[in-house]
Structure 1
Amino acid sequence: MTGSARTLLLTRGLRAFGDGFVALLLPVYLIALGFSPLQVGMLTTATLLGSAALTLVVGAVAHRVSTRRLLIAVSALMCLTGLAFAGLGGFWPLVIVGCIGTLNPSGGDVSPFLPLEQSMLAHSAPDAERTSLFARYSLTGSLMVAGGALAVGLAEQLGRHFAWTHLDIARGMFGLYAILGLVVMGLYRGLPAVESDAEKARQPLGPSRNRVFLLAGLFSIDSFGGGFLVQSLLALYLFQHYGLSLTTASALFFWMGVLTAFSQLASGRLARRIGLVNTMVFTHIPANICLMLVAFAPSLPVAIGLLLVRSTLSAMDVPARSSYVMAIVTPPERAAAASLTNVPRSLASALSPSIAGLLLTLSPFAWPLLIGGGLKIGYDLLLLLMFRTVKPPEEMD
């Protein structure tokens, strides 16, 4: 593994730790400020729309600015976002910061960091090792998201000792998010300034244009469904429906994250046996069936069991998907392909949290789980139908 790959794995982990505690803290923070579930959904939508818009900006200037410089600039914005959320309490100011900042309420990596890091990572390994490297990248992120969720529970226990309120805890951890932005910025500064970065970014999509656009559309369906299920809104449903404490929810999301993380290690091995597309589809469908069944769970233990089973399967497609996109385009197209398959995903995922928040406001039933899971299964079937014959280089006979 190259030094650049190690740095990117480390920065992924630090950012994921921040995303993990932000996803769980955000609804608690907003409810403590007096906002309704609908407003929580609206602000979640604003943050996801902001991520999509920022990724578009990154794509627009990538032909003139190196990847390293863009990563440094976005990490500086991450720092400012944490400081703003720690200091502001009004709904519309927070919406504005959510739109222009880097806050990620999804628990996954929906941010302008992702395509930049993916394009650098894809050049760090040969075809035979690419999926395994992306699996380690995803594993690192999932483990640290779980660690971030667990940190919320530890912070709450510490807060009880010092008589801190939920607002105090949330503001302190938003400050920690800002510090993580500074640390990540320092690590990015240590990446080599590769002269060909700008040259590669200037090259438009060529022979893979149609594939990339079709994948972007399919991924958008998946992400639109995923927007109904972002961790902040899933946590809100569990808080409202089962009365979970923050500590219990923290532990649940920690173990969900751990299961998600280690399951991704199997992605590379499974892909070598059945192929990247089959790995994406045949692990994703049962995961979403489990999620939909949570809506009908007769008790909290059953709901937790279904969520844990889902966590062992739901993210095995992530390293396979990233590796697949990088494999079926030419090397000069990788940066553009990474951006163009992530921007529509961010836009699509930004539309559904407000709808989910409204549904949770109007009805106690878990309609977002049914709608989101159904859309994601539809995506799986379309992906299998359209791309089962498009093979990456390592699967060619």
Structure 2
Amino acid sequence: MRLRLFPETADANARRVIYARGLRATADGYVSILLPAYLLALGFDAFEVGVMTAATLLGSASLTLCVGFITNRFGHRRPLLAAACLMATTGLGFAGLQEFWPMLLVAFVGTLNPSSGDVSVFLPLEQSLLAQSASDRDRTALFVRYSLAGSLMGAAGALLAALPDLAGRQVGVAPLPAMQGMFVLYAATGLASAAFYRRLDEPRMTHGPQRSEPLGPSRAIVYRMASLFSVDAFSGGLIAQSILVLWLFQTFDLSVTAAASLFFWTNLLSAASMFAAVPLANRIGLVRTMVFTHLPSSLCLIAVPFVPSLTVVVGLLLLRSLLSQMDVPTRNSYVMAVVTPRERAAAASLTSVPRSLASGIGPLISGYLLLLSGFGWPVLLAGVLKTSYDLALLAMFSHVRPPEEQRPREMERSALPAIPPRSP
């Protein structure tokens, strides 16, 4: 059976968003690895690296806070174009600045992504647009394609992080200018993404009586999801890819080239796992798919700090990456499924903002802990918190099923033969 590149009901907007997502993921893939190396080369310590990483996440949260409201006024196309221009400005700022405070300001207002997933202002804008770009039947499959594009191109981007080392060996370019060139490439990627966003068509739901609106009847469940997702995001911030790279640099003296190779494979395994997300969700449901794949990956994290061998640590990180990302498209699809269509933009924003705020606190703590001790306290703490999140998610939401999961069971019940009443 031939695998379709896009679901059958996906429209042109879905294709353009996913192409742009792939471009941005390429840049995010190498920036998340080069960021700590670049900051260390500029003379910053582990805590300052943590502060810079936190600023990128907190700034993204501040921007996404307004997404549910600006889509009402401006739609999706113009905010995405503005975000792409901001991405270009961010890359040029990091390439041209070397002082801590100006760089911190650019990190806060810009779009740098220090993690393996997308935590920028693009995410809620693209999510709400994708939810309107395919039928409910194909929604989860579309989100899988979206996440798959991010993981595959993020893997390719991770390999690009080795270019400064390669340029130093082959051409004799000093590491610092080579890394600055990669940030210029990041800026160019933002402009290339804008070319796709310019061709977007505003969906009909953003106009007239069906226009998106702030949360109404789904407010309670969205607030519960946002608070719980924040726990996962905070623990993820403790081990944002830039922080994890920093820990590997300090603990195992890992080179940038070796880190690029490692995170190429972690992203590739994450992408491969996406193919199992849709059939698994169709079989056991979205919530169980999130929990039953994410929990083993959390246990891998708990084991990592206690392992003295780099080989075993790499094995655990690879195993974790094979399991940890199947919850991303299923979570996005679940949020869009349990709210009304007009609330989707606000729901995407209000579940993304607390996640970004919570994840922004994590690197501050991790940078401080790594400054005090070489032990992987951030990794251990992240594993424990993620395990708690998985169990709480199962307990709180396993009974809240989206309509497409309820219909098959109702059909099964209606197909059962009627039991005749017993005669007295």
**CA distance in structure 2 between the partners assigned to 1:163 and 1:24 by the alignment:** 21
Give the corresponding residue for 1:371: 381
**Aligned residue in 2 for 1:252:** 262
DSSP 3-state at the match of 1:9 = helix
- Number of the residue aligned with 2:199: 190
Q: Larger Rg: 1 or 2?
A: 2
Alignment match of 2:300 (pick from 290, 294, 298): 290
CA distance in structure 2 between the aligned counterparts of 1:246 and 1:44, rounded to whole angstroms: 18
Confirm or deny: 8 A CA contact 2:51 2:367 kept in the other structure.
yes
- Quote the offset at 1:195 in angstroms: 5.2
How far does the alpha carbon of each residue in 1:164-208 deviate from its partner, in whole angstroms, 9 at most, with x for none?
Answer: 222112100100010011011111001113454255565221211
For 2:363 and 2:397, the matched residues in 1 are separated by 29
Question: TM-score, with normalisation over the residues of structure 2?
Answer: 0.92
Superposition map of 1:276-315 within 5 A: 276-315=286-325
1:265 equivalent among 255, 275, 288: 275
In the aligned structure 1, how far is the partner of 2:218 from the partner of 2:91? 38
The equivalent position to 2:167 in structure 1, one of 134, 145, 158, is: 158
1:224 maps to amino acid: F
After superposition, the Cα gap between the structure-2 partners of 1:124 and 1:46, relative to the gap in structure 1 and judged at 3 Å, is: same
Question: Deviation digits for residues 183-240 of structure 1, max 9, x if unmatched?
Answer: 1111100111345425556522121110001000000000001011100010011111
- 131, 138, 142: which is aligned to 1:129? 138
Q: State the shift of 1:328 in Å.
A: 0.7
| CA positional deviation for 1:57 | 3.5
Match of 1:84 among 83, 93, 99: 93
Which amino acid counterpart does residue 115 of structure 1 have in structure 2? P
Determine if contact 2:230/2:354 at 8 Å carries over to the other structure. yes
Q: Is the 8 A contact 2:131 2:139 kept in 1?
A: yes
Q: Quick one: which amino acid aligns to residue 97 of structure 2?
A: L
> Which of 106, 111, 116 is the matching residue for 1:97?
106
Question: Which residue of structure 2 aligns with residue 383 of structure 1?
Answer: 393
CA drift of 1:160 comes to 1.7
Q: Which amino acid aligns with 2:36?
A: P
For 2:4, the equivalent position in structure 1 comes to: none
User: Which residue of 116, 122, 130 corresponds with 2:125?
Assistant: 116
Aligned residue in 2 for 1:236: 246
2:212–2:343 Cα contact (<8 Å) kept: no
SS class of match (2:306): coil
Name the residue aligned to 2:26: 17
Taking the aligned partners of 1:329 and 1:60, their CA distance within structure 2 comes to 16
Instruction: Read off the aligned partner of 1:208 and give its amino acid letter.
Output: S
Does the 8 A contact of 2:164 with 2:175 survive in 1? no
Q: Is 1:343 the counterpart of 2:353 in the alignment?
A: yes
Deviation at 1:162? 1.4
In 2, distance between residues paired with 1:318 and 1:165?
Answer: 38
Q: Judge which range, 165-174 or 192-201, deviates more.
A: 192-201
Q: How many residues align?
A: 397
Q: How far did residue 155 of structure 1 move? A: 3.9
Of 59, 79, 92, which aligns to 1:50?
Answer: 59
CA distance in 1, matches of 2:163, 2:376: 29
Identity %: 56
Shift of 1:156: 2.1
Alignment RMSD (CA, Å): 1.2
State whether residues 71 and 345 of structure 2, in contact with CA within 8 Å, keep that contact through their aligned partners in structure 1.
no
SS of residue paired to 2:111: coil
TM-score scaled by length of structure 1: 0.98
- Residues 1:75 and 2:81 are matched in the alignment: no
In the TM superposition, structure 1's runs of 4+ consecutive aligned residues that sit over 6 Å from their partners are: none
Change (3 A) 1:226 1:36: same
Between the aligned partners of 2:281 and 2:202, the Cα distance in structure 1 is: 33
Aligned partner (choices 161, 170, 173) of residue 179 of structure 2: 170
Question: SS at 1:104's partner residue?
Answer: coil
| 8 Å CA contact retained: 1:127, 1:393 | no
